[in-house]
Amino acid sequence: MKQFLISFFFLSVFTVSAQNNVNYNQVSQDLLQNIMEDTSYEKQVKILSESTLDELVTALKTDQQKIAFWVNIYNAFIQISLTENPKLYEDKGTFFSEERIKIAGELLSFDAIEHGIIRKSKIKLSLGYLNKWFVASWERKLRVDKIDWRIHFALNCGAKSCPPVAIYSAENLEKELYFITKEYLKEQTTYNKRTKTATSVALMSWFRGDFGGNSGARDLLFNYKITPEKPKNLEFKTYDWTLLLNNYRTIPTTIYD
């Protein structure tokens, strides 16, 4: 009996240790990679659905780890949900607010991931200036410490005007976000030298507080060499909400050199 109890104890310790040693960043990358390659992703979905809050808090310590993980998760489940049922996109408000992703012992919505975790508990319709008054304990534990405005050019909501879907890693997140931000803004921005007016994506208007206001958005267009000078004026394109799935982008390996 004593030998049995000792064996059971070590087996329990090993099982807990194995669960805690899951590389969740890698799981998120594998999930999105399998979706992009149209191969089975059931294993990754199962791992995520069985994860606990404590495990994720332990695994995702830095903002780089959190952003890479949650952006991959968001983009992956957008593809999964709308591929399985494109009609969900007919009611976008419900689609983004409905709790449908089982992870960390919770059912999460796309809004909870984007505005709660990645944008540090921002009120969705506040132009990026207001924080939520009441925040769930799990959200406080999982959210980033500082908002990185470039996530708006990495999250894909399934629309034609959305940024493309790429795979992000915690180790190389800075270079990856720089690349995808510059590429997306180059595609979305035009500049009139005579009037010094830049016309760019509406995301910078909807979440202007994240960008440091209108002036901050004009700064970033110049700093990322999208415009030859800081624009005097900034206008925004109409966002095309036409459903567009499989808008994938491979980040070139040369950016890591």
pLDDT for 167-200, tens place per residue? 999 999 999 999 999 999 999 999 999 999 999 9
Structural domain including 180 reads: 2-256
Q: What angle do CA 124, 56, 149 make, to 5 degrees?
A: 35
Quick check: 15 pLDDT over 80?
A: no
pLDDT at 86: 98
Quick check: 7 pLDDT over 70?
A: no
Average pLDDT of the chain, as a whole number: 93
57-110 per-position pLDDT tens digit: 999 999 999 999 999 999 999 999 999 999 999 999 999 999 999 999 999 999
How many domains, the chain? 1
Question: What gap in Å lies between CA 171 and CA 147, rounded to an integer?
Answer: 18
pLDDT at 162: 98
> What percent of the chain is predicted at pLDDT more than 70?
92
Quick check: 12 pLDDT over 50?
A: no
Q: Which residue has the higher pLDDT, 118 or 21?
A: 118
Quick check: 201 pLDDT over 60?
A: yes
pLDDT at 3: 52
Q: What is each CA distance from 142 to 92, 101, 118, 147, 154, in whole angstroms?
A: 25, 15, 9, 13, 19
> Of the candidates 105, 100, 66, which has an alpha carbon nearest to the alpha carbon of residue 85?
100
User: What dihedral angle (degrees, nearest 10) is formed by the CA atoms of 66, 67, 69, 74?
Assistant: 130
How many CB atoms are located within 10 Å of the residue 223 CB?
A: 10
pLDDT at 257: 85
Quick check: 136 pLDDT over 70?
A: yes
The structure tokens 């994860």 sit at 51
Give the mean model confidence (pLDDT) for residues 109-137.
97
